[in-house]
A and B are shown apart, each in its own frame.
Chain A
Amino acid sequence: MAPDPIYAGRLAVAAHGLAKDFGAQPILRDLSLEIERGEFVALLGRSGSGKSTFLRVLGALDGDVRGDIRVPRQRAIVFQDPRLLPWQRVLRNVLLGLPRDAGTRTRALAALEEVGLSHRVNAWPRTLSGGEAQRVALARALVREPELLLLDEPFGALDALTRIRMHKLLRDLYRRHRPAVLLVTHDVDEAIMLAERVLVLGDGRISLNLRVDIPGPRHHADPRFGALRERLLRELGVDSD
């Protein structure tokens, strides 16, 4: 089959008219979304809005969906919990599912170096801190050189200071590798801080689509930051005062 011309050119994600129900409860209704290659998109939504379900559909973890959808073959997911195999050392976790050759090993070591964990290559996952474990999960995703990186609330379980460091790390990695990124989060500030475009999922479709036109590095104190924040919170049904 010839590659889809639309997908092969410009897009990393092309989804049109997606619909999915949990029993009688519709969770996605006529959801359409395009993500360009190399674009960083954040997806916000209240809990239960279906944002994680949508990410699982993109990640080929859930095939029970109607509509048109195309994603790249090279994908990687980082979950909220790092999901490292506790009985394999850090390096073997990064190499999980990859062919065992010297080249792959070198790439895995390089990925661990990029996330600042060269010194933990032979550690057992259970001796890692939460932030370190999540950095291993990032390295495991990066080493696959994904065209689409799916992040499912990857920093949700981390403490505030670690989260700030992880934001910077993720921005650096994104700048260097330029995959298309879909970051699912419930943290409005995180979305504005990291993404080029912020979406809100409501009523099973994209209810708001905002471009973040703030050149980096972004600061909370920036008035444009505050305006975006206000707008997004309103869309999410939270009044900021």
Chain B
Amino acid sequence: MQTATVGSGAPAIAPPSGESASRRDALVDPRALAQRPAGQGLVPRWLQRLLGPALLLAAWHLLASADIFDPRTTPAPLTVLRTAAGLAASGVLLDNLLASLQLVVKGLALGLSVGLAAAVVAGLSRAGENIVDANMEILRAIPNFALLPILIAWFGIDDVSKVLLIALHVIVCVYINTYSAIRNVDAGLIEAARTFGVKRRELIATVILPGALPGFLIGLRLALTGAWLSLIFAETINAPIGLGRMMSDAREYFRVDIIFVLLAVYALLGLLSLASVRYLEARLLTWRRAFDGA
């Protein structure tokens, strides 16, 4: 369809050709130009997001079957899968996984309670801040792994020092994020609550802690990924059982396939941890999601 402009006179700049002049004058349907929201296909979004890893696996498989990789240093994906199945069937993988999981859970429990308590104490009172905050900054400045020799000297080479190493990392992550979240709760909300007769106890429970929750969850997310990292480090020192022990054994006997299985296990554990925090966020921050959806 072509639309003639009436009474507009000759264009100041002549179009280069008659064809493009009619294109310029023609009206278009804006819906045809509008950007369609991405990813609204038949395939669910989470499945679409697996495309990248799937392509990587496929490339790995192709390169391995074309004998481009040396199977002694880079086993084929199917070999890794077979090894994993074997380790799972014999129960070796589960036993070691549970041993490691137990350390992480203990470290998390300890770290979460101490980190949260410290953040609340420092966040809510000037005196608490004076006592706690600088210490936490110092702890944050020291690389956790540098503390391991001291932990071993104090608590021996068994589980206690490993749990403490994990806990220290969790404490720092949870503390830093929760403390600053408490301090950054909207002062206007606190003032309004006070004018409506909210007393200190209720103020903490209904205004300050809920307001700090998003910050705490960010800390939890960092703490979870960091906990697995600390575990790997702690278990390389001395571990009779656990994923770290499996890893050093595999290195000792040059079982690259087992190393790959363990890498995959670490990746899955990390992803599961993140998924669990996402689940918590979805459950606890409904009020925020309502906003995102609007």
Contact = CB atoms under 8 A, between A and B. Distances in A.
Interface in B188-243: 188-189, 191-199, 202, 206-207, 210-211, 213
Interface stretch (A81-89, A192-200, A212-220, A230-238): A81-89
B210 A85 contact: yes
A9 interface: no
A96 interface: yes
B278 interface: no
Contacts of A79: 188, 192
Interface stretch (B64-72, B81-89, B155-163, B283-291): B283-291
Contact of A144 (B196, B199, B294): B196
A97 interface: yes
B192 to A, nearest CB: 4
Interface string B260-291: 00000000000000000000000001111011
B196 A140 contact: yes
A97 B286 contact: no
Contact of B206 (A61, A76, A96, A140): A96
Contacts of A96: 193, 196, 198, 206
A140 B207 CA distance: 16
B195 A98 contact: no
A124 B286 contact: yes
Contacts of B199: 97
A180 B193 CA distance: 22
A86 B195 contact: no
B202 A87 contact: no
Interface size on B, as a range, is 20 to 34
A87 B290 CA distance: 10
A79 B196 CA distance: 12
A127 B287 CA distance: 9
B213 to A, nearest CB: 7
Nearest to A88: B206
Contact of B294 (A87, A88, A127): A127
A126 B291 CA distance: 6
A183 to B, nearest CB: 17
Contacts of B288: 86-87, 126
A75 B195 CA distance: 8
Contacts of A87: 210-211, 213, 285, 287-288
B198 A83 contact: no
A131 interface: no
Most chain A Cβ neighbours within 10 Å, of B188, B192, B197, B288? B192
B197 A98 contact: yes
A97 B207 contact: no
Contacts of A38: none
Nearest to B293: A127
Given A77-B195, A140-B196, A144-B196, A83 B189 contact: yes
A86 to B, nearest CB: 5
A59 interface: yes
Contact of A126 (B188, B206, B207, B294): B294
A83 B194 CA distance: 12
Interface in A52-76: 59-61, 75-76
B190 to A, nearest CB: 10
Contacts of A77: 192, 195
Contacts of B211: 85, 87
Contacts of B194: 61
Contact of A86 (B192, B196, B197, B287): B287
A126 B290 contact: yes
A61 B213 CA distance: 27
Contacts of B213: 87
B104 to A, nearest CB: 30
A87 B210 CA distance: 7
Contacts of A140: 196
Interface in A82-132: 83, 85-88, 96-98, 124-127
B210 A127 contact: no
A126 B285 CA distance: 12
Nearest to A126: B291
A61 B287 contact: no
Contacts of A81: 188
A85 B206 contact: yes
Q: Which 6 pairs of residues, A with B, have the shortest CB-CB distance?
A: A126-B291, A83-B192, A97-B198, A97-B197, A97-B196, A124-B290
Given A83-B189, A87-B287, 18 more contacts: A60-B195, A61-B195, A79-B188, A79-B192, A83-B191, A85-B206, A85-B210, A85-B211, A86-B288, A87-B213, A96-B193, A97-B193, A97-B199, A124-B286, A124-B287, A125-B287, A126-B294, A127-B291
18 contacts: A59-B195, A61-B191, A76-B195, A83-B189, A83-B191, A87-B210, A87-B285, A96-B196, A96-B198, A97-B197, A97-B198, A97-B202, A124-B287, A124-B291, A126-B291, A140-B196, A144-B196, A144-B197
